[in-house]
């Protein structure tokens, strides 16, 4: 008689699903590895990143993958995104339509730059740098 499988954590579920996708679609391996790196950062940064910005980006990227796939693989990605959303207790409205579409990101970048570069750059220069950084992050 087989023993019942232990319940997996949301992260373990996500990793298992992502590995099935890599086996089914090897050309997606690079993007999947990048996503797994971001996912590992979610758990590490939740005490620091109370807004779950990384989680939101990962969910958004899972919903809008960079590669073509079949319906079953697409469903697996959407299920993984939903697992992360539930684990982070995020509402649907919290998830950006694209990974870089977090509207508050530029304001957060600008605030950090203003604190860091106060007295060294003018407000206009800081705003320009913040725009460039936000654009780089978005792409």
| pLDDT classification of 65: cutoffs 50, 70, 90 | confident
pLDDT on residue 137 = 62
- Over the stretch 103-118, which tens digit does the pLDDT of each residue have? 566 777 788 888 888 8
Same domain for 85 and 55? Answer: yes
- Domain annotation covers residue 2: no
**Domain span at residue 113?**
103-137
Same domain for 67 and 123? Answer: no
pTM value is: 0.44
| pLDDT classification of 69: cutoffs 50, 70, 90 | confident
Note the maximum CA span of the chain: 71
What's the number of domains the chain is made of? 2
Same domain for 67 and 130? Answer: no
Contact predicate 103/128, CB 8 Å = no
Same domain for 117 and 69? Answer: no
Torsion of CA 40, 97, 111, 91, to 10 degrees: -70
Cα separation, 108 vs 72, in Å, equals 37
Same domain for 87 and 19? Answer: yes
| pLDDT classification of 122: cutoffs 50, 70, 90 | confident
pLDDT on residue 41 = 66
* Average pLDDT over every residue of 59-73: 80
């Amino acid at each position: 008689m087989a023993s019942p499988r232990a319940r997996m954590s949301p992260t373990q579920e996500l990793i298992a699903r992502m590995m099935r996708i890599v086996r089914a679609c090897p050309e997606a391996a690079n993007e999947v590895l990048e996503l797994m790196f971001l996912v590992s950062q979610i758990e590490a940064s939740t005490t620091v990143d109370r807004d779950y910005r990384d989680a939101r980006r990962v969910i958004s990227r899972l919903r809008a993958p960079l590669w073509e796939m079949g319906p079953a693989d697409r469903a697996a990605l959407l299920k993984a995104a939903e697992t992360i959303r539930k684990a982070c207790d995020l509402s649907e409205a919290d998830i950006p339509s694209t990974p870089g579409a977090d509207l508050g990101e530029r304001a957060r970048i600008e605030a950090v730059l203003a604190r860091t570069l106060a007295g060294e750059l003018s407000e206009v220069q800081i705003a320009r740098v913040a725009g460039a950084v936000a654009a780089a992050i978005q792409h």
